[in-house]
Amino acid sequence: MQDPNDKYTRETITDVRVWVPGKLFSFTCTRPSGFRFTAGQFARLGVDNTLNLPGEPSIIWRAYSMVSSPYDEHLEFFSIVVPEGAFTSHLSKLKVGDPVYVDKTNFGFLTTARFESGRDLWLLGSGTGLAPFLSILHDPLTWDQFQHIVLVHSARTAEELVYQDMIKGFTQHPELSELIDDVKQRFFYVPVVTREQVNGCLSQRITALLRDGQLQQATGLPLNPQRSRFMICGNPDMVTDIRAVLKGQGYKPARRNSPGEIAVENYW
């Protein structure tokens, strides 16, 4: 049910999934009928200040990337629980049937349209920075644009490597399989766990993996400015560090009027 408003609509939570109790969860909500977005973009979500937190407005707003594809009838989001955070202290308590507000405007430039060329798309994410990359992977247009797609997701512990069924399912995705040849040979998933040793996972920070060649070794794909394009999403320090390493290797930011090889999202 939608409230008439110039800036946002009132939507309904339809599902909640707790990945790591007290740390990570995801939820879906109804999608406003006129809400459009490009894979990789984010929305502004609002929750009622039911706890009456001092200094906060009646509706508290934050930015969240869509996990769902532009073609889904619902919206899905992935969130960390911030201890004593004004927004997630409310959001993490929401149940199916509760309201959430969605700004009518879409936001962000972490989209494949940032790149004019390139052969391989590298999606480098940490924590909840995984979210926009799942949306991008759901979009058949991404697979039309790039020959190979690599998803690198870094987490502190193995239990934080979430959405495993969805990630593994990209190679069996019915729509992608019909539209795209050799999906299994074109998609690479590289899990990274930094605070414990886990079989099948790399263990160093993404910056180190870029420097020492482990990402090339894990995928068999070379890295060079002619063929490699990078999207980065995660905490600000991680984004800054990876961008610095890539710039040192000859890659440039992709800007509106200047072709480049690096696209980032900063909405913290």
For residue 64, the cross-strand partners are 43
Total Cβ atoms within 10 A of residue 157: 13
**Class at the top of the CATH hierarchy for domain 8-103:** mainly beta
- 188, amino acid identity: F
Q: Structural domain boundaries of the chain?
A: 8-103, 112-264
Region of 127 please: left (phi>0), alpha (psi -120 to 50) or beta.
left
- 179-207 confidence digits (pLDDT tens): 556 777 899 999 999 999 999 999 999 99
For the whole model, what pTM was predicted? Answer: 0.92
In this predicted structure, what is the pLDDT of residue 1? 42
What is the rounded CA–CA span in Å between residue 112 and residue 90? Answer: 33
**Class at the top of the CATH hierarchy for domain 112-264:** alpha beta
Can you list the residues of the chain whose pLDDT is less than 70?
1-5, 172-181, 266-268
In this predicted structure, what is the pLDDT of residue 174? 57
In this predicted structure, what is the pLDDT of residue 70? 94
114-147 in b/e burial notation, b at 16+ Cβ within 10 A? Answer: bbeebebbbbbbbbbbbbbbbbbbbbbebbebbe
Report residue 138: phi and psi, to 5°. -75, -15
